[in-house]
Amino acid sequence: MTETPGAGTATTGAARAHARSQAGTVVDCMPLLPPPEGALWEETVAGGGYAHLAVPAGAELALTDRDGDACAHLLLFVTGRPWERLNTADTAKVQWNAYLGVGSLLLSDQGRVLATVVADSSGRHDTLAGTSTAARNTARYGDGTPQGRSPAGRELFKLAAAKQGLTPRDLPPSVSFFHGIRVAADGSLRSTGSAGPGARVVLRAEQPLTVLLANTAHPLDPRPEFHCTPLHLRAVPGVPTAADDPLAAATPERGRAFLNTRTLGAR
């Protein structure tokens, strides 16, 4: 067929030209490629979207709640041996605290450190309530499918996991950033909501990490409508926490967690 300029997409040539003419389009939520100078990866994840990336040991992953209604549900696996993964129970129990803040470690189920919280301007996070499911979001919002208007975190995690060769069986409970949960004296859970636009958390990878991230409303968000706004993430190279870093030596449990992590080579 001959190519006719301006003939829409009725011919192969016109369809090709139409497709190629989209190059360079910029939208609100997309990765920046190539990453800006100095970054390993930079991406804005849509509300209801997900991300997955593998970062080297030492990398710093900055998460920003750009507009104030992001919620970063997060799972971490050691790249190449995903049987070592985030354990939320050990994260709370070993550090004798259920709340995350600067200096908190995200611990694996192997007594080692996956990541360290090195900056936090939010203070609204959660290690207890996990993420949302298709059943619950369908009951609350009428839809929990990943393509719908109120995607469930677990459905997004399943997709992100599949992209990294993992299955639903590989998904343990997750932590979440930018929507706070507090425990009252009687054990009941209370939402403290968002810290507002611009809140930022920086995680330092203490091992090579595969990161799965679902940006969707917290399961205990009290509002009847689904709210979730874009999440910005940027990964830059760095170095793992040093043995003599005050953060590593602050408690005996942290010291032993870093000791186990540094001596990984033996097992």
Partner 1 sequence: MTTAPATSPAVPAAPGVLLDETVPARAAWSAVVPRGATLTITDLRGNQAVDCLLYDAHDTAVRYSAPDTLQAQRGIFLTTGSVLLSNEHTPLMTVVADDCGRHDTVGGACSKESNTLRYGHHTWQQHACVENFLAEGARYGLGKRDLVSNINWYMNVPVEADGTLGIVDGISAPGLRVVLRAETDVLVLVSNCPQINNPCNGFDPTPVRMTITEGGSR
Q: Which of 47, 48, 146, 219: binder of partner 1 (CB under 8 A)?
A: 219
Cα(241)–Cα(258) distance, rounded to whole angstroms?
8
In angstroms, what is the minimal distance from the CB of 114 to partner 1?
A: 13
Instruction: Compute CA 21 distance to the chain's CA centroid, rounded to the nearest angstrom.
Output: 33
- Nearest-angstrom CA–CA distance, 233 and 215: 11
What is the C-alpha to C-alpha distance for residues 187 and 61, in angstroms, rounded to an integer? 32
Q: Is 97 in the site for partner 1 (CB under 8 A)?
A: yes
Q: Which helix (H) or strand (E) holds 257?
A: helix 252-262
Of positions 70, 75, 106, 171, contacts partner 1 by CB under 8 A? 171
**Which strands, in side-by-side order, build the sheet including 105-107?**
41-45, 231-236, 60-65, 199-205, 113-120, 105-107
Number of residues that bind partner 1 (CB under 8 A): 48
Identify residues 10-69 at the interface with partner 1 (CB under 8 A): none
Partnered with residue 105 across adjacent β-strands are: 116
- Chosen residue from 29, 133, 196, 237 binding partner 1 by CB under 8 A: 133
> Which among 239, 166, 177 is positioned nearest to 213, based on CA atoms?
177
If the CB atoms of residues 26 and 185 are measured against partner 1, the closer one turns out to be 185
Smallest distance from partner 1 to CB 206, Å: 14
186 contacts partner 1 (rule: CB under 8 A): yes
Q: Does 136 bind partner 1 (CB under 8 A)?
A: yes
**Is position 94 an interface residue for partner 1 (rule: CB under 8 A)?**
yes
Only one of the segments 5-13, 166-174, 193-201, 228-236 lies at the binding site for partner 1 (rule: CB under 8 A); that segment is: 166-174
